[in-house]
């Protein structure tokens, strides 16, 4: 049996430029599940290979009778369901069928568009979480065709640890350390997200939320630290530590010398001083918040259930605890006008986050946002992650959003600059004159297109 992760970093310019590749966490858990049942499992990780044709060589070498092509539901670039990654996965399906294997496919994009994968030759396509269906397929109990959505796994402690030994973690570490001087390993504490933001795609777990025990996560961290020596961790959870009592218990378990980590959170969670104190003591060094917009009107339209005031309080709390802050920002959500964009610029300028990620709003199937603009779509998916193409009839042209993004990038480059001799620090220093020259051009373009 051959398990394959179809995500190709080479097809993702934004993630390649970031230099922070992560191994496919979800598929490695699946491999461990099959191993625990006594199956002989080979693993193909497309992340660091240059071309999908490499998969043909793996098929020739392993000669599997069963191939499971599993996209990682914990990965943000995978959840973006981009056309480049879809084409690669469909090519892997066709190659597997040419080799005579039964093919199961699962992941966010197969969940959204199962018919594309059956048309390519997949014998089984799983909608939603794939754990139970995968095990049934491995043992011949799953009927061919599109497998309907099953109930999600509720007790995450019953899942095995990822089969890290099946991938070359050294290759990931080398890329990280060459670029950043350190390496982070990805772990997950939970599956799903309980919040109702109407633009957020939740193809695998829906709006359900289940979390592993803090004891299990602490044990995984100790084991990873002893065996692989990562410099830090990235928790892939949509929202880390939704429940404050869980965080308090986790803090106590990881001890006084925790492994540093980054995570995603929400502004309303980090309004409370006790929560932030636990977060810092547990090892958190950087959090990313879905700030999205500086306009309360747009936040309300998104069903974000937070306000700009929440964001301001959260940043103050986190900074007071020595935790770096990153903002995810969205431009172009339906109803957004020029004054709303100016409110976002004002928020970023006043709060000065340590990092920013900027995108135009991306409508994905299964969201209220997608339903709202379905009839206005000019294209269904981005070609690669963070392609930032405006896919529906927005209030302003593509060039406006590009100009806003460049204004924010140029301004943040100055307040986030720190002296240093690492490659990243030297690169940021070298970019400052470039930003200084381009900033007035982009600001003028933003004003012209926004007010015109």
CATH of the domain at 56: 3.40.50.280
Task: Please check whether residue 451 lies inside any domain of the structure.
Answer: no
Task: Please check whether residue 167 lies inside any domain of the structure.
Answer: no
Task: Please check whether residue 425 lies inside any domain of the structure.
Answer: no
Q: How many domains does the chain have?
A: 2
Query: In angstroms, rounded to a whole number, what is the distance separating the alpha carbons of residues 383 and 167?
Result: 27
Give the pLDDT confidence of 392-444 residue by residue, as tens digits.
988 999 999 999 999 999 999 888 877 776 666 667 777 878 888 889 999 99
Of 409, 268, 250, the residue nearest 345 (C-alpha): 409
Question: Are 110 and 205 in a shared domain?
Answer: no
Question: Are 64 and 191 in a shared domain?
Answer: no
Q: How confident is the model at residue 234 (pLDDT cuts 50, 70, 90)?
A: very high
Task: Please check whether residue 408 lies inside any domain of the structure.
Answer: no
Question: Are 208 and 315 in a shared domain?
Answer: yes
Give the pLDDT confidence of 141-189 residue by residue, as tens digits.
999 999 999 999 999 999 999 999 999 999 999 999 999 999 999 999 9
Task: Please check whether residue 79 lies inside any domain of the structure.
Answer: yes
Question: Are 197 and 125 in a shared domain?
Answer: no
For 223, the domain range is 182-395
- Return all residues near 226 (Cβ < 8 A) that are at least 6 apart: none
Share of the chain residues as helix, strand and coil, in percent rounded to the nearest 5: 45, 15, 40
**What mean pLDDT is predicted for residues 211-235?**
98
Question: Are 211 and 90 in a shared domain?
Answer: no
Q: Does the pTM of the predicted model rise above 0.85?
A: yes
The one-character DSSP state at 452 is: -
Question: Are 280 and 391 in a shared domain?
Answer: yes
Query: In angstroms, rounded to a whole number, what is the distance separating the alpha carbons of residues 294 and 224?
Result: 39
Question: Are 269 and 137 in a shared domain?
Answer: no
Last residue of a domain, one of 147, 168, 199: 147
Question: Are 341 and 195 in a shared domain?
Answer: yes
Task: Please check whether residue 115 lies inside any domain of the structure.
Answer: yes
Question: Are 232 and 371 in a shared domain?
Answer: yes
Question: Are 253 and 391 in a shared domain?
Answer: yes
Question: Are 120 and 204 in a shared domain?
Answer: no
Q: How confident is the model at residue 385 (pLDDT cuts 50, 70, 90)?
A: very high
Q: At residue 40, what are phi and psi to the nearest 5 degrees?
A: -85, 120
Task: Please check whether residue 85 lies inside any domain of the structure.
Answer: yes
Question: Are 72 and 202 in a shared domain?
Answer: no
Task: Please check whether residue 449 lies inside any domain of the structure.
Answer: no
CATH number of the domain enclosing 265 = 3.20.20.70
């Amino acid at each position: 049996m051959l398990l394959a992760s179809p995500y190709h970093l080479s097809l993702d310019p934004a993630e390649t430029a970031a230099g922070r590749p992560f191994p496919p966490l979800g598929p490695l858990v699946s491999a461990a599940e099959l191993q625990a049942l006594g199956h002989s499992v080979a693993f193909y990780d497309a992340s660091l290979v240059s071309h999908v044709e490499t998969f043909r060589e793996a098929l020739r070498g392993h000669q599997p009778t069963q191939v499971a092509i599993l996209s990682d539901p914990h990965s943000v670039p995978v959840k973006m369901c981009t056309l480049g990654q879809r084409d690669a996965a469909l090519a892997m399906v066709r190659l597997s069928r040419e080799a005579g294997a039964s093919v199961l496919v699962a992941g966010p994009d197969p969940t959204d568009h199962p018919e594309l994968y059956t048309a390519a030759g997949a014998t089984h396509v799983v909608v939603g979480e794939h754990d139970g269906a995968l095990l049934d397929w491995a043992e011949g109990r799953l009927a061919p065709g599109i497998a309907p959505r099953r109930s999600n796994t509720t007790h995450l402690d019953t899942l095995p640890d990822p089969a890290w030994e099946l991938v070359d973690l050294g290759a990931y570490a080398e890329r990280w350390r060459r670029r950043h001087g350190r390496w982070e390993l990805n772990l997950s504490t939970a599956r799903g997200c309980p919040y109702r933001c109407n633009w957020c795609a939740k193809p695998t777990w829906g709006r359900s939320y289940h979390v592993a025990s803090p004891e299990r996560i602490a044990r995984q961290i100790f084991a990873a630290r002893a065996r692989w020596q990562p410099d830090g961790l990235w928790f892939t959870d949509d929202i880390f530590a939704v429940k404050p009592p869980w965080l308090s218990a986790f803090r106590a378990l990881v001890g006084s010398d925790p492994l540093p980590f980054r995570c995603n959170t929400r502004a309303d969670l980090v309004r409370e001083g006790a929560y932030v104190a636990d977060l810092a003591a547990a090892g958190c060094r950087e959090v990313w918040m879905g700030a999205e917009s500086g306009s309360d009107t747009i936040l309300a339209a998104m069903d974000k259930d937070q306000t700009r005031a929440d964001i301001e309080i959260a940043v103050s709390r986190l900074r007071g605890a020595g935790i770096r802050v990153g903002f995810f920002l969205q431009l172009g959500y339906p109803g957004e006008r020029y004054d709303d964009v100016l409110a976002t610029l004002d928020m970023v300028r006043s709060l000065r986050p340590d990092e920013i990620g900027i995108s135009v709003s991306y409508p994905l199937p299964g969201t209220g946002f997608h339903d709202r603009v379905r009839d206005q779509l000019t294209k269904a998916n981005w070609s690669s992650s963070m392609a930032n193409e405006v896919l529906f009839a927005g209030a302003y042209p593509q060039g406006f959003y590009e100009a806003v993004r460049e204004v924010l990038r140029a301004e943040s480059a100055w307040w986030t600059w720190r002296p240093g001799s690492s490659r990243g620090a030297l690169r940021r220093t070298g970019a400052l004159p470039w930003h200084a020259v381009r900033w007035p051009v982009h600001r003028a373009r933003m004003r012209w297109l926004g007010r015109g």
